[in-house]
Chains A and B, each alone.
Chain A
Amino acid sequence: MAEIAYWEAIRRAHDEELAHDRMVIAMGEDIGVAGGTYKATSGLYQKYGADRIIDTPISENSYTGIGIGASMAGMRPIIEIMSINFALLALDTLINAAAKIRYMSGGRASCPIVMRTPGGTAHQLAAQHSARLARMFMSTPGLRVVTPRGPLDAYGMLKSAVRCNDPVIIIEHESMYNMRGEVPDTETFRPLEGAEIVRAGTDVTLIGYNYSVHLCLAAAEKLAAMGISAEVLDLRALRPIDRDTIRRSVEKTHKAVIAEEDEATVGVGAEIISVIMEECFFALDAQPVRVHAADVPVPYNRQLEKAAIPNADDVLAAALKVLGRV
């Protein structure tokens, strides 16, 4: 077991899967000679060559489509989109093609692609580099959507995504690439379905995914100091949602907070609250609370950006609200 950075975990998963299967290729902007914007493919061009680590032009919709076409003929492409904002350009091939080909061919064709992309705010990247957009992909049948919160899932879920026969969207986060965590030295796969109880507790359930799990963990620490036992649940997968684990946790704590970095409207929190209402409405002691971004394009100014994006104190305040402590 070694502690490695999130980007190193992604790089290791690429390396192992490229070595395991010659049909695995990686493609994206600057991933080869330049080594990847977040170093997630560094050194792989030198090791596997230009035919398998493909530097693409800035043509998101079509290079994604090329990956999809290749996957229909037996390849296993890992497609990197430098920022989830740019994935909007590839929505036609992702949503109109990749997500629908298996279904509209009656199961006769499939496109086992992996699309990796960072979504989230970082440091004053402004409106066109700060989108999160998980909600858009999680609402699309035919896709799998996962949100690794740390190096272990970043490594193990990428490996599973490459082996899986469905199109998988992996949403990473610009602020997590240098985050460190333990990853086993031996080959490990992490499943693409199933929420995870990251911290057990009894008084309130804090639900997060991707970066917001860390906000929940920080809030749980503060709550513990106040004598409140918070359970932290990492959704891990946004499609499909693990309804059972959410239900079990809320039935135990009777209170729920959902933290998302995205805007609230038609969002992850809205969906999770619906799940809670449908699964365990009568277990609730208080109305669930969403913690989410302000309903504006993300501003550049440091203070405005900070005000637009939720932090651990916002999660704490929401928890105190559902607990009736404010």
Chain B
Amino acid sequence: MNASDQKRLLREMIFYRRFEERTFEAYMERKIGGFLHLYSGQEAVATGVLEAARCGHDYVITGYRDHIHAIKAGAPAREVMAELYGKETGSSRGRGGSMHIFDPTVNFMGGYALVGQPFPLAAGLALACKHKGTDQIAICFLGDGANNQGTFHETLNMASLWKLPVLFVCENNLYAIGTRIDRSSAVTDQYKRVAAYNIPSSQHDGQDIDVVMASAGDAVAHVRAGRGPYFIEFMTYRQRGHSMSDSNAYRSKDEEREWLERDPLKIYGERLKKAGIVTDKDIAAMEKSVLEEIENDIVRFAEESPEPRVEDLNKYCLDDQPDPRWIGPLAQGEQHG
């Protein structure tokens, strides 16, 4: 990877951190409603994995902590912000909100709030890729908590049985909301759990984007080569609560401090500085330009965008332009005794 790509990645991660912090502010101002789950602290995982994939070509799907996955996959950040504001210009036209960002134009197939539900959906996307004979793959990001759902076991079994081109990315941040992994999973190393389904797997540091990119690169290559699914686990940590209403009372301050030391932005920033690729001044300039972009472009777009029209409440429930040949109504002549 050349220096300009490295600089780009550092800026991206700074952008993701500041984007999430800005959503927090808007939430406190009550401009964003519902539940809001921030990705701060885990940036190296989505950024590194999707850097190793082909965004816009491969399918990406995830859980409810989905803003950054969507943006890195190619969804315009201003549309993601507008979605959080519930605006008509949002990624999901204001109908989905924070947990349901969609952008099928870049094959980002959604964020889902039912823990573990994306497993089978991802395998289905992979089944379609295989059926069509393209070299696309499906990438499914989920947390460690999702692995205790039946869908995890059912889907891994079928994905392995049918050799589906799907990469399961486990973002192990140690907590399923407030329940620590050793209190909810009989096997705490998640990558070991998939051995039962004959799926190759590995565990890596999720705070170091270089490690993420290298290991995800191998995993993506495995899946794209038609060798079946792969399960990759990244050890990471969310710096904030599960959602806005969570005070993190279940985590020790020592543990939080330890992981803050391993902040992915800090690790990568220090590395690039040591290599002479960036200076403190460059990083300060990045921070400034990121904040300007967020404020002047992204937030402004969200603020100025229109709300959905109440007259459109029933829109999108079913196909709004159905073909009468399949739908009806039943003509008199079609009635039969």
Binding site for B on A (CB under 8 A): 23, 25, 51, 54, 56-57, 59, 61-75, 92-93, 96-97, 101-110, 141-142, 144, 152, 160-161, 163-166, 189-199, 236, 242
Closest CB in chain B relative to A128 CB, distance in Å: 19
Say whether, besides A92-B117, A108-B104, A69 and B110 are in contact (CB < 8 Å): no
Complexed CA–CA distance, A56 and B327 (Å) = 30
Could you say which of A64, A165, A193 contacts B120, with CB atoms under 8 Å apart?
A64
Cβ contact within 8 Å between B320 and A107:
yes
Closest CB in chain B relative to A116 CB, distance in Å: 16
Residues on B with C-beta less than 8 A from A67 are 124
Closest CB in chain B relative to A157 CB, distance in Å: 9
Residues on B with C-beta less than 8 A from A25 are 131
Say whether, besides A70-B127, A160-B325, A164-B326, A97 and B117 are in contact (CB < 8 Å): yes
Closest CB in chain A relative to B251 CB, distance in Å: 30
Cβ contact within 8 Å between B330 and A75:
no
Residues 89-123 of B at the A interface (beta carbon under 8 Å) = 90-96, 100, 102-105, 109-110, 112, 114, 117, 119-123
Query: Is B161 interfacial (CB 8 A cutoff)?
Result: yes
Cβ contact within 8 Å between A62 and B120:
yes
Closest CB in chain A relative to B47 CB, distance in Å: 24
Residues 297-327 of B at the A interface (beta carbon under 8 Å) = 315-320, 322-327
Complexed CA–CA distance, A73 and B102 (Å) = 13
Cβ contact within 8 Å between B100 and A242:
no
Query: Is B329 interfacial (CB 8 A cutoff)?
Result: yes
Cβ contact within 8 Å between A142 and B318:
yes
Residues on A with C-beta less than 8 A from B317 are 102-103, 141-142
Query: Is B294 interfacial (CB 8 A cutoff)?
Result: no
Please list 18 pairs of residues, one from A and one from B, whose beta carbons are closer than 8 Å in the complex, sorted by A's number. A51-B131, A59-B157, A61-B151, A62-B123, A69-B123, A69-B125, A70-B127, A70-B128, A72-B104, A72-B125, A104-B100, A106-B96, A108-B103, A160-B326, A164-B323, A165-B322, A193-B327, A193-B330
Closest CB in chain B relative to A218 CB, distance in Å: 14
Closest CB in chain A relative to B83 CB, distance in Å: 9
Residues on A with C-beta less than 8 A from B327 are 160, 164, 191-193
Cβ contact within 8 Å between B330 and A191:
yes
Closest CB in chain B relative to A152 CB, distance in Å: 7
